[in-house]
């Protein structure tokens, strides 16, 4: 039996009578930008042609999309409109990333580059914008972040089928910010000595007046400060990870870091992966002794947050509070520009300087060793002295 085919216009679906009274309706529901072909969905309908036509119209209304309409929509989009769609789409971003991306996208939307249509966007437009930003005194960090967010938005548009190709593929971006300066070992030791002196003085004061609530709070804060310095310098953990550590995360000397806090929201670590590392024996001993001592003083903890405002440990300290605590300790110790994140940079710099790139990656929780190398390549030890000597000998022998 002959098979009748009635193909409707593109974007309105097609009908095919496979058997008498059995119709196949195909509707274009999307497009594959990678292979440049339509994505269709097939439906089977029973009845006469009139019923099949009616069902086709319903299916097209519910699921159909035309390539012309799709392309037309993309051609009308500006860079600013794409960025707004990108930000509104669901992402697995941390709250801090949401906040920073929002700020960057607002700046890009307001920029003249935001009025450029996507179909006309070329690398030259972005290079011109970068040069304009730099000429107006924007920092390296600001220019770099704008470029990275724009590139991410375009990649997202391709993956979502909004664009068939990324117009910035192969374009070289602006310079990235230099790695933050780390605290030297002498600076860390200087802060540690000051924190240890603070604990010793607070202990003497409490022994002289053991019933004083004020002196108890003073000693608790002093011990928390010492633990903060030692643990941050030992582990290289981020401040959001340090803030939500629990005593139960420490098994002997092995510390498990499996959560973090971002903009006050408790969640996973930045890399979304847990990691385990071994602490120095002194660091681990101080933590164990601190936790047990306050229980012995009659302060039964409601919870086991390691860093807490008081010995009941009912809640954890915020990441900002830890940063402020460290800053006060550093200033009191006479260290210029003290910052908690610089301790983590010190850990990485020391390990990379010793040639332990993979161990630095694991300790800091970087998902890729290239991230560690990009930030700490300045500390990579040089091992080309033999090559230099060989070239020196060749050049000298040729004279």
Give CA angle at 371 (369, 377), nearest 5°. 90
pTM of the model: 0.63
Tell me, what's the pLDDT at 361? 54
pLDDT tens column, 310-334: 999 999 999 999 999 999 999 999 9
User: Counting Cβ atoms within 10 Å, is residue 67 exposed (0-12), middle (13-18) or buried (19+)?
Assistant: middle
Question: 24 phi and psi, to 5 degrees?
Answer: -105, 125
Q: Which residues contact 202 (CB under 8 A, 6 or more apart)?
A: 215, 218, 219, 222, 223
Please answer whether residues 338 and 330 qualify as being in contact, where contact means their C-beta atoms are separated by less than 8 angstroms. Answer: yes
pLDDT tens column, 212-236: 999 999 999 999 999 999 888 888 8
**Per CATH, is 77-159 categorized as 1.10.150?**
yes
Domain ranges within the chain, ordered by starting residue: 5-74, 77-159, 185-379
CA distance 135 to 129: 10
Query: 185-379 has which fold?
Result: hpI Integrase; Chain A (1.10.443)
Most confident of 61-75, 198-212, 356-370: 198-212
Mean pLDDT along residues 173-201? 87
């Amino acid at each position: 039996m002959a098979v009748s085919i009635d193909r409707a216009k593109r974007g309105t679906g097609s009908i095919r009578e496979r058997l008498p009274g059995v119709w196949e309706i195909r509707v274009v529901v999307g497009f594959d930008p990678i292979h440049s072909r339509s994505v269709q969905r097939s439906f089977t309908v029973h009845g006469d042609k009139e019923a099949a036509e009616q069902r086709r119209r319903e299916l097209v209304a519910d699921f159909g999309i035309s390539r012309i309409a799709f392309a037309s929509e993309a051609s009308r989009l500006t860079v600013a409109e794409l960025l707004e769609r990108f930000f509104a789409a669901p992402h697995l971003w941390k709250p801090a990333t949401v906040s920073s991306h929002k700020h960057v996208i607002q700046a890009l939307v307001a920029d003249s580059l935001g009025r450029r249509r996507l179909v006309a966007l070329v690398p030259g437009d972005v290079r011109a914008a970068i040069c304009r930003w730099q000429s107006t005194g924007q920092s390296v960090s600001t220019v770099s972040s704008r470029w990275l967010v724009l590139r991410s938005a375009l990649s997202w548009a391709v993956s979502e089928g909004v664009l068939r190709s990324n117009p910035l593929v192969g374009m070289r971006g602006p310079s990235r910010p230099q790695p933050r300066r780390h605290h030297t070992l002498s600076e860390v030791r200087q802060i540690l000595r000051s924190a240890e002196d603070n604990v010793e003085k607070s202990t003497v004061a409490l022994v002289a007046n053991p019933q004083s609530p004020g002196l108890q709070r003073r000693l608790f804060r002093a011990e928390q400060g010492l633990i903060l310095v030692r643990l941050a310098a030992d582990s290289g953990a981020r401040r959001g990870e340090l803030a939500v550590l629990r005593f139960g995360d420490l098994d002997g000397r092995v510390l498990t870091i499996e959560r973090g806090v971002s903009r006050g929201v408790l969640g996973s670590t930045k890399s979304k992966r847990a990691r385990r590392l071994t602490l120095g024996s002194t660091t681990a001993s101080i933590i164990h002794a601190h936790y047990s001592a306050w229980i012995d003083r009659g302060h039964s903890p409601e919870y086991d947050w390691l860093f807490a405002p008081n010995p009941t440990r009912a809640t954890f300290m915020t990441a900002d509070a830890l940063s402020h605590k460290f800053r006060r300790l550093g200033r009191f110790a006479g260290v210029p520009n003290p910052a908690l994140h610089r301790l983590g940079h010190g850990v990485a710099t020391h390990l990379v300087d010793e040639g332990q790139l993979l161990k630095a990656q694991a300790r800091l929780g970087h998902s890729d060793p290239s991230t560690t190398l990009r930030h700490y390549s300045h500390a990579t030890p040089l091992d080309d002295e033999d090559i230099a000597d060989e070239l020196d000998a060749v050049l000298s022998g040729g004279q």
